[in-house]
Chains A and B, each alone.
Chain A
Amino acid sequence: MSVPAPSASATGPLLRVEDLTVRLGPRPGAPSLIDGVSLDIMAGETLGLVGESGSGKTTLGMAVMRLLAPRLARGTTGRILYGGRDLLALSARDITAVRGSEISMILQDPMASLNPVFTIGSQLKEALRRHATGEGSLEERARRLMEEVRIPAAASRLRHYPHQMSGGMRQRVVGAIALARAPKLLIADEPTTSLDVTIQYQVLDLLHDLQRRLGMAMLFITHDFGVVARMCDRVAVMYAGRIVEQGPVREIFHRPAHWYTRALLDSVPSVAGTPDRLPTIPGAPPGIANRPEGCRFHPRCPNAQVRCGTEPGISAVAQGHEVRCWFPRGRA
């Protein structure tokens, strides 16, 4: 794998999501999975996207890849800018050219992400074949890629089928496939959730290492603040389809402004693997069909007031630290 120089021009973000809304169908009143989400990812940085399941994190990742189900794709509005182009406006052919080479993704479930009827090698080579640069035969490049993701006995593994490998090995193969064409942005959707704790850390370290060497940016989707602390530069917290707070990891950890972020941080256990339910806040996140008026968190918020029944705007509480709350913690 050759190491391209990170696009250091730094004139603007690598990826800019503007007012992205994803509804169940094109009707304006249809329930939304994501509602007016805006965020930037700079070249080379890692943005963590944190929230409970059902908050819209995965939907956001799939929207960037243009892999939403047709019904959701028809209900998508807003812009996703990459390299000066709106990904949402690209033709099928043009988005195919972006996928894998510019932006790539690692899916949650390594057991299901590989095609059971083809060998690891053939699935890897399919990606490599579309990558212009690289020395040596396809076979050699595939083997080197396997070595990069630290798969032992890489050469013989190429002839194996997915069912012959463990979950950790499969996730490495999925990683190798996603990174085969040296993308500038990797969306990692809970890449370690389904793995054993010890293997989780190995895979995380590997990802971190590869990212540094490739100089790629990462959108790291997780529900685990422990993982965020390990991997990310900045973090965005999602709740019920909205980003409620975003800022530098250090800021968020030490001075969370949103009451939801505070609750999430409180529920981080000392070991990795946060439960999906939050023990410190009563209730459950609202389903997409019955989201409350105003601040979506206010029915569960310990500090809710009358005004919270109306829509809060976004306010900056520090340099690069924004929150969507009427009464941010420690500021009001």
Chain B
Amino acid sequence: MVRVIGARLIEAAITLILMSLVIFLLSRLTGDPVALLLPDGATAEDRAALIRELGLDRSLPVQYWHFLSGALMGDFGRSVEAGNQPALGLVLERLPASLSLAGVALAFTLVSGIALGVFAAVRRGTALDLGARLVALVGQSVPAFWLGIVLMYVFAVRLQWLPTSGHGAWYHYVLPAATLGLFTLAAVTRLVRSAMLESLGSEYIKLARIKGLPEWLVVWKHALANSLIPVITFMGTFFAIMITGAVVIETVFAWPGIGRLAFEAILARNFPVVQAVVLLITALFILANLAVDILYIVIDPRMRRRG
């Protein structure tokens, strides 16, 4: 198990370094960062000075080395926006808002998706099953940015039950988390439903019933434990979808997270911030996948021997 995790960590490091290279090249090879930084009417001397200050006069490999070593120390440079804050600090400041939103959405998604999938499988062929499958189908088809706007229109503008935007109280989470979670909810429902159907038809479920176990234990312990394995394998993907969705949804709901920060920084070509935020999100991706791998080994005893 230690060896598996060690190998994954090395892979993660390689992925991160490659990613940093991609980001570096994309941000340096296209566009002109200097032009954005200079005030109108700056002289050629100002320009040359800034180029030297940023190290842009050196060769690309050297520039990349500076960028990488800086990044490793947590130094991504300063934001070109007003305030000139350190880029990493700016990103970390926004991180909790994103993580809490993704966390709430993920929790909502898992709890309701698992429950819906289990009930749909147990009551297969009933109206409840049909409803669950419909939710799953629509949930996987509706574009998040549009859903966000529609929910906002219905619940905030027309019914006025919830605020259109804002951050801090629990009710601020409802609409963004529901929007962010619907796609994953649909996916979890489908996965759990089909895994439960397979599990409920298995021989070990028959034996559990033969033993005289009450039905709730048969369903919620014996069948569900096996049906969670596919959900866990997809957890990394779900997290990735949440982070990606955060860019759109934080923009729609004016949520002060890293998704919206990334969007704003990219539009403003604020490259130090872009680099910091993209690398951080990539690192989160990798961490999530690593956590999933470990969880997988823990829950499925058949995987343990390989560790």
Contacts and interface: CB of A to CB of B under 8 A. Distances in A.
**Whether chain A touches chain B in the assembled complex (some CB pair under 8 Å):** yes
A114 B207 contact: yes
A182 to B, nearest CB: 12
B302 interface: yes
B212 A116 contact: no
Contact of A113 (B207, B214, B300): B207
Contacts, number: 84
Interface in A81-102: 92-93, 96-101
A130 B204 contact: no
A114 B204 contact: yes
Nearest to B213: A126
Contact of A130 (B212, B222, B225): B212
Given A96-B215, A118-B225, A180-B211, A113 B203 contact: yes
Contacts of B202: 112
B218 to A, nearest CB: 9
Contacts of B214: 93, 96
A116 B211 contact: no
A174 B212 contact: no
Interface string B194-216: 00000000111011111111110
A113 B211 contact: no
A116 B210 contact: no
A112 B204 contact: yes
Interface string A48-90: 0000000000000000010100000000000000000000000
A26 B209 CA distance: 24
Contacts of A161: 301-302
Contact of B222 (A100, A108, A115): A115
Given A115-B226, A117-B226, A100 B212 contact: yes
Contacts of A21: none
B268 interface: no
A243 interface: no
B225 A115 contact: yes
Contact of A99 (B210, B225, B301, B302): B210
Interface string B91-125: 00000000000000000000000000000000000
A323 interface: no
A109 interface: yes
Given A99-B210, A174-B207, A116 B301 contact: yes
A107 B207 contact: yes
A108 B214 CA distance: 23
Contacts of B301: 116-117, 119, 161, 163
Interface of B is mostly: helix
B48 interface: no
B203 A112 contact: yes
A101 B210 CA distance: 9
A258 interface: no
Nearest to B202: A112
For the side of the interface on A, what is the size category?
Answer: 20 to 34
B206 A163 contact: no
With a 10 A CB-CB cut-off, give which of B212, B213, B217 has the most chain A CB atoms: B212
A107 B206 contact: yes
B226 A100 contact: no
Nearest to A116: B302
Nearest to B204: A115
B123 to A, nearest CB: 11
A107 B209 CA distance: 12
Interface in A240-292: none
B213 to A, nearest CB: 6
Contact of B211 (A109, A118, A130): A130
A324 interface: no
B211 A100 contact: yes
Given A117-B299, A117-B300, A161-B302, A99 B207 contact: no
Interface in B272-307: 299-302
B302 A104 contact: no
B220 to A, nearest CB: 13
Interface string A116-137: 1111000000110010000000
Contacts of A109: 203
A113 B208 CA distance: 9
A96 B204 CA distance: 16
A291 B139 CA distance: 47
A23 interface: no
A181 interface: yes
Give the 9 A-B CB pairs with smallest separation, nearest first.
A100-B212, A112-B203, A161-B301, A115-B204, A99-B212, A127-B211, A100-B211, A113-B203, A113-B207
25 contacts: A65-B209, A67-B210, A92-B215, A93-B214, A96-B213, A96-B214, A96-B215, A98-B212, A99-B212, A100-B213, A107-B203, A107-B207, A108-B203, A112-B204, A115-B208, A115-B226, A116-B204, A116-B300, A117-B229, A117-B301, A118-B225, A126-B211, A126-B217, A127-B211, A174-B207
Interface of B: 202-204, 206-215, 217, 222, 225-226, 229, 299-302
Interface of A: 65, 67, 92-93, 96-101, 104-105, 107-109, 112-119, 126-127, 130, 161, 163, 174, 177-178, 180-181
Given A96-B212, A96-B214, A116-B302, 5 more contacts: A100-B211, A109-B203, A116-B204, A117-B301, A130-B213
